[in-house]
């Protein structure tokens, strides 16, 4: 089986990773990939890592998307606000995976508050299934449309889902998360320019990050969530990776081995979650679809550490994982990527 696929927004880092993964996927055939300013250019001229691997050229987004009936799946790797303009026009037979934040939040007022715009397609939003594969696998299998989670949300939710589902938490939860510069996108800005970033460390969007309501919405869906969430994001002087330290307090005393057993049971069918001794390292997950999770405990205090590649498990890799499920494929196909050492 070959799935005919289109990628809307292929010039950024998310689009680049989708291309890298789908070009070697045994069941994928990329029909076209769009990019406004790079339209007409060879994909391998923009993404030099793909030189010799594809003859695709970027095209302008088609104006008659309602006629794209021969496609099986569309990926949106566009800036926030653009997928909601295109997705409602697609034929009903096409499955959709959106990597932006357009369809993650079910409350239009919350969306407007955190994304700074009114939602233009709330009628379609109800058809989108939240795409955190490890907590929503069965719904994703039946979905036509999937809203891929944000990168910080993925790292946080994978660290909290087993505890929330088992109703183990009390008090507030503090998430101290750090990300590499690729999370800011392919276009450089003052705070992502290499001379500024390479020897720097700072917090940004303190307690106002757009992934906060997404995290709380999903935690409420999967378990008993009534805790206060303190969520802080920081800029790391690296290009790839997210590392989250999640500080919790449990209802009874818990050891690291107890926590590991709870997580091992919860993720027993999840190939891409790996449990490690003590702390994970973003180097171990870089360019892979794995989430590594470690623990530290003292009494009722439990710290969960998670590490992912923000562009793979935090974006394109999880999107392909969801596509696999949507089409009845093994979710690991095309994603058993091996990291490097060092």
Tell me, yes or no, if 151 is annotated catalytic.
Answer: yes
Residue 121, token pair as written in the block: 């397609």
For tokens 């190939």, the residue is 271
For tokens 């407007």, the residue is 112
Torsions phi, psi for 74 (to 5 deg): -120, 130
**301-308/291-298 β-pairing:** antiparallel
**128-130/95-98 β-pairing:** unpaired
Pick left, alpha or beta for residue 234 (phi over 0 → left; psi -120 to 50 → alpha; otherwise beta). Answer: beta
What is the distance between the alpha carbons of residues 179 and 307, in angstroms, rounded to a whole number? 10
Catalytic residue among 73, 145, 151, 291: 151
- Supply the residues annotated as catalytic: 151
């Amino acid at each position: 089986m070959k799935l005919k696929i289109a990628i809307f927004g292929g010039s950024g880092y998310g689009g680049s990773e989708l291309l890298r993964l789908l070009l070697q996927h045994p069941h994928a055939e990329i029909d076209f990939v769009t990019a406004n300013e790079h339209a007409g250019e060879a994909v391998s001229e923009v993404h030099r890592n793909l030189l010799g691997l594809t003859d695709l050229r970027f095209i302008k987004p088609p104006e008659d998307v309602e006629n794209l009936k021969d496609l099986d799946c569309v990926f949106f790797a566009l800036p926030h606000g653009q997928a909601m303009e295109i997705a409602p026009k697609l034929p009903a037979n096409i499955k959709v995976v959106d990597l932006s934040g357009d369809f993650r939040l079910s409350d239009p007022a919350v969306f407007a508050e955190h994304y700074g715009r009114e939602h233009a397609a709330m009628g379609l939003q109800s058809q989108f299934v939240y795409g955190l594969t490890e907590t929503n696998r069965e719904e994703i299998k039946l979905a036509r449309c999937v809203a891929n989670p944000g990168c910080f949300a993925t790292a946080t939710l994978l660290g909290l889902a087993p505890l929330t589902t088992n109703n183990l938490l009390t008090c507030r939860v503090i998430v101290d998360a750090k990300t590499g510069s690729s999370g800011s996108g392919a276009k450089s800005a003052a705070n992502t320019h290499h001379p500024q970033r390479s020897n720097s460390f700072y917090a940004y969007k303190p307690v106002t990050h757009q992934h906060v309501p997404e995290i709380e919405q999903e935690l409420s869906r999967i378990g008993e969530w009534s805790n206060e969430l303190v969520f802080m994001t920081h800029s790391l002087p690296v290009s790839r990776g997210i590392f989250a330290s999640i500080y919790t307090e449990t209802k009874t005393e818990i050891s690291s081995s107890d926590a590991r057993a709870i997580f091992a049971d919860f993720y027993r069918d999840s190939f891409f979650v790996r449990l490690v001794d003590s702390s994970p390292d973003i180097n171990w997950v870089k360019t892979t679809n794995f989430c590594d999770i470690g623990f530290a405990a003292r009494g009722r205090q439990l710290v969960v550490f998670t590490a992912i590649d923000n562009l793979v498990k935090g974006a394109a890799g999880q999107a392909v994982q969801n596509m696999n499920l949507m089409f009845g494929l093994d979710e690991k196909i095309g994603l058993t990527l091996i990291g490097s050492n060092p």
